[in-house]
Amino acid sequence: MTDEAVTRPTPRRIPVRGVVAAAIAVIVVGAIAFSVGRISGITEPTPTSTSAAAGFARDMQVHHDQGVELALLVRDRSEDADIRSLAYDIATAQSNQSGQMYGWLVVWGLPQASPEPSMTWMTRPSLDGQAAHGHDEEDGAHEPGAPMPGLATLEQVQSLQDATGVEAEVIFLELMIAHHQGAIDMSEAVLERTDSTLVKTFATGVIAAQEKEIVYMETLLAART
C-alpha cells in the first residue's frame, strides 16, 4: 500500500467524513451481519440455490465488482483529492462486500454460478404476494437475464477508460450515481423477498450508505457541470 493510500488529504470543498463513515459502516454492518447470520442459521433455513437471497448474493457480487472497476479507473485518471478519496472508499467497501457475499454462498453450500438467468429472483413476487419488483410503472418488472439496474455498459466503461481529468470525473460520477441507484433498487427488492437476517441486515446497510454517497456525488457533479 502506498503512502498516498494510507494518508489521504481532507477535501476542501465538501467534507468526506460522512461518506467515509458510511463506507466503514457498511463494512462493519457486513461483518456483524455475517456473525448474525451464523447464529440465526441455527433457526433459519438455509437459502436454496434459486432463492432471492442466493440470487442477490450472486448478482450483487457482479454489480459490486464493476463498482470497484469504475472506482479504480477514475482514481488513475484524476488528480482531484475528493474524487480519489471517494474512489478509494468505494473500491475498498465494495470489494469487501463482494467477498462477504461470496462467503455466504460457501457457507450455504451453494454454487457461485446461478442455475438460472441473472436477476430472475427479482422478477418473482415478494413475500407478501405483491407483484414482481419494477423500477417504475413504465419500465415494469425486471426481466430475467436483462442488464442489472445501474450496471454500466461496455461502451460506458470504455468512455471512462479513454477520458482524463475533469472529463473522467464527470463520466465516473454519472455512472456511479446510476450504479448506486441500481444497487439500492436491488437491495430494496431482496428485502421484499427474503427472511434471511443476514441478507436483510446487509441490504439495509447498503441502502443507507449508498444513498448518502449519491447525495455527495451529486454535489461533486454539480461543481463540474
Q: Which domain holds residue 175?
A: 15-43+52-115+142-222
Q: Is residue 131 part of a domain?
A: no
Please report, for the domain that includes residue 173, its CATH number: 1.20.1260.10
Q: Is residue 127 part of a domain?
A: no
Q: Is residue 2 part of a domain?
A: no
Structure-derived torsion over alpha carbons of residues 19, 35, 61, 59, reported in degrees to the nearest 10: -120
41 in Cβ contact with 110 (< 8 Å)? no
8-state DSSP, 12: S
Rounded CA-CA distance 108/129 in Å is 26
47 in Cβ contact with 194 (< 8 Å)? yes
Q: Is residue 130 part of a domain?
A: no
Alpha helices in the chain (DSSP H): 3-6, 17-40, 52-75, 81-108, 154-162, 165-191, 197-222
Q: 134 in helix, strand or coil? A: strand
DSSP 78-116: ---HHHHHHHHHHHHHHHHHHHHHHHHHHHHT--SS-SS
How many structural domains does the chain have? 1
The angle, 0 to 180 degrees and rounded to 10, between the axes of the packed helices 165-191 and 197-222 is 150
Q: What is the pTM of this model?
A: 0.78
Q: Is residue 5 part of a domain?
A: no
Rg of the chain, C-alpha, whole Å = 18
Q: Is residue 135 part of a domain?
A: no
Q: Is residue 156 part of a domain?
A: yes
Rounded CA-CA distance 155/145 in Å is 19
C-alpha cell at 165: 481529468
Q: Is residue 187 part of a domain?
A: yes
Per-residue pLDDT of the chain (225 residues; tens, 9 = 90+): 444 443 444 433 434 444 444 444 444 444 544 554 554 555 789 999 999 999 999 999 999 999 999 999 999 999 999 999 999 999 999 999 999 999 999 999 999 999 999 999 999 999 987 755 444 434 445 788 888 999 999 999 999 999 999 999 999 999 999 999 999 999 999 999 999 999 999 999 999 999 999 999 999 999 999
Cross-strand bridge partners of residue 134: 141
Handedness of CA 114, 48, 108, 102 (dihedral sign): positive
